A and B are shown apart, each in its own frame.
Chain A
Amino acid sequence: MLPFSSFEFFIIMALFIGIIAVCKYFFAIRKYKFVLSFFNALFLIAIYPQPCHFFILIIFSYIITYLISEVFRIRKKIWGILILLLPMLLVKLDIRFNFYPFEMNNILSFAGLSYASFRIMGYYMDKAPDEEMTDFISYFNFLSFTPTLLIGPIDKFRRFKTSQDTGFINITTENFIIGWNAMVKGIVFKFIFAEVVDRYWMNIFPSTGKEILYMANNMYSYYFYLFFDFAGYSLMALGIGKMMGMNVPVNFTNPFIAVNPQDFWRRFHISLGEWLKDYFFTPLYLYLTRKKNLKKYPMTRQNIALLMTFLLMGCWNGFKLNYILSGLLFGIFSAIHSTYVFQCKKRGKDIFFGGINPKAIKVISIFIMFNIVAFALYIFSGRCPFLN
């Protein structure tokens, strides 16, 4: 059984939360991580499909991180990244090309591999060269925390560890109510709103119809469907995490009112946006800054880094034309916006909206963003008839 995929999952989580809350009165604060690891392991072994795959990935990544950073002390992080991401890369490539003599997906692939790989790389990137390797229990909890096992949010190890260290202290009535409310909101989003959009809006017209009305219907309905589905999952994970004593990061905050692409990624799948910014965009931008040819062109550097970052995001979803194209579109939107802001600053005035009321500018910006995001996600959905 996958997390949040059946009614029984919620019963199991209620049992886990209840037992962890009782454990608070019998165990010392520092023992929380052992209690949590017991339940994470129990869920993986007894309920999760392909638990061996997950355990092997955790042990493999822990040993590799230890060897690279503690034994061989390799300074260039790129080699470590490539080794740690190898299982995910092989699976993603296999989906598109199938050029191995056997089905690689059957051996390596399992639900949650992508998110686990992101967290593994995040830990490796954040680890300073002289910093001691974390204990295996905390590392195991970080990768296998049940509510975020399948589709995130992508937490950072330091944040997770801080939350874990005060796990028993976080189990309070106030936090339980906050968690409960988030979980109920998530249930409403995922199991009512997303389902209603799917049944009574998204599928009323043929999904691959070439009529403009069909395409517009698909475009807007898919945006709402994706938001309610994904935000619902994230809220349920946040809520259950909170009731267990763990603070799970917020992943969505009203993306429909975003005024520009940067603002959008601060509201939509926030943890992925932050991950890409911290571990790909910033290092790439700094790398490009050191290039002689690009030293005098900060805008070119930024736009190259933006395009590459969103292209990577597209490829991460799978090596398929719709994913890559949607990533590229998001990159182009961001590059156009940052160039526009740069030019406005250079000229000391807003080029297009100079004399307009700020409130009207905000409304126009929200309208433009809503439509271009809906279009990019429509491409992402694979429902566009011209890409099939």
Chain B
Amino acid sequence: MKKVTIKKFLIHAVLYAGIAIAIYYLYSPLNNHPNNKTGSAIHFVYQKF
């Protein structure tokens, strides 16, 4: 039981770290985009539509 919990925790930790890294690499370059006047990368992406 304990092993399963630790395994689950580790999988989740890797998964969440992966999500965080993916979001960081997708959006952080947009903070410095010349057309970005919002100060928020996600908001900037949103405005395209």
Contact = CB atoms under 8 A, between A and B. Distances in A.
B46 A192 contact: no
Interface string A1-14: 11001111000000
A195 to B, nearest CB: 6
A195 B19 CA distance: 13
B45 A195 contact: yes
B43 A6 contact: yes
Interface residues of A, number: 14
A169 interface: no
Interface residues of B, number: 12
Contact of B46 (A5, A184, A188): A5
Contacts of A84: none
Contact of A6 (B23, B26, B40): B40
B19 A5 contact: no
A192 B26 CA distance: 8
Contact of B23 (A8, A192, A199): A192
B42 A6 contact: yes
A5 B44 CA distance: 9
A196 interface: yes
Interface string A172-202: 0000000000001001100110011001000
A211 B49 CA distance: 25
Contact of B19 (A1, A8, A192): A192
Contacts of A188: 19
Given A191-B26, A192-B26, A195-B26, A7 B42 contact: yes
B1 interface: no
A191 B42 contact: yes
Interface in B1-49: 16, 19, 22-23, 26-27, 38, 40, 42-43, 45-46
A8 B26 contact: no
B19 A187 contact: yes
Nearest to A2: B46
A191 B22 CA distance: 9
B46 A191 contact: no
Contacts of A195: 26, 45
A14 to B, nearest CB: 16
B42 A184 contact: no
A184 B19 CA distance: 9
A98 to B, nearest CB: 22
Interface of B: 16, 19, 22-23, 26-27, 38, 40, 42-43, 45-46
